[in-house]
Amino acid sequence: MKKQKRKGVFWWVLLAIILAILLGYVLKKELARNHVASPQKTTEQARGKRPPLPTSSGKPAMPSAKASGEAPKMPTSPSSAHTPAASQQAKQKIDYCTQLENDVRDFFSYLDRKPYIQHLELGKSLLEYSREMVRQLSAHPPVPAGEGINPTILTKNIYHLYRTLGLRGIRLVREILLNEQDSMEINLDILYRWVMEGDKCPDRLRLRPSFDVLYKYAGFLVNTIGGRACLSRRDNRIRLLATYYCLLILHEADRRGVNSYGIDIYPIVVSLKREISHYHDLEFQPEYLQKLTKLENYYIERR
């Protein structure tokens, strides 16, 4: 009897163990499934409740195609999608040329309103009068070299500007240089960039001289007795700036292989660099010195 009772207890214990094992297995799987699914569910709920980010205007930003699952749309702006790179560059060049031309035109309009210009009684706008001056200077350019072997060249160069421009033209240039010293650096930079564009920018002002004329006058001012005497009578700032831009023009002639008079500007570059380094009244002194250093190294490498 005891043996049968003990046997019945054994089966109950065995059944309880099996049930416990099954229950533990089921609970373990359920917990594992909930552990994996819960972060995703939490993230989705958070996404559903998060307000859209505001834009700079304070209005909610439009959802992107990536976030909404829609296919991205191509931009429809002609400037960003359908304009080739070459057209973009051409447009930038046109804008640059137009800006330069407007700056030059504004400079002449500004001078027209000045009392010292009106006092000269030119009889026409300064732009029109300047066109005549450029035509006269272009028709009779100086000889930028050879004074040492031909005294006639020396004599002609000494009186060149007076004979070409006349007293009124000389006075006009002198008055502008005297009264516009404060803005001279900026204005000379604009005028230099404008004249050096050549065929790259249209000359709607009908004022730009040819590069050959620029080359001859640049050589005249820094390489002849008459030209240097003319600069020596000017204020130091004007003299240094005029010499600087003349050297840039002559260097460009070297680069293009059109330095037909063989003007050697290296000694002038070294001298001007030394002078400008001691002259602190120039607003863009560091830029001038940096450019002159490049020119100096350029000619040192070729000697």
Which pLDDT tens digit goes with each residue over 72-88?
333 443 444 445 666 67
User: What does the pLDDT look like over 124-180, one tens digit per residue?
Assistant: 999 999 999 999 999 999 999 999 889 999 999 999 999 999 999 999 999 999 999
Average pLDDT over residues 184-193: 95
* pTM (global) more than 0.75: no
Find the radius of gyration of the CA atoms of the chain: 41
Domain residue extents for the chain: 86-301
Reply yes or no on whether the pLDDT at 5 is more than 60: no
Q: Is the pLDDT of residue 28 over 60?
A: no
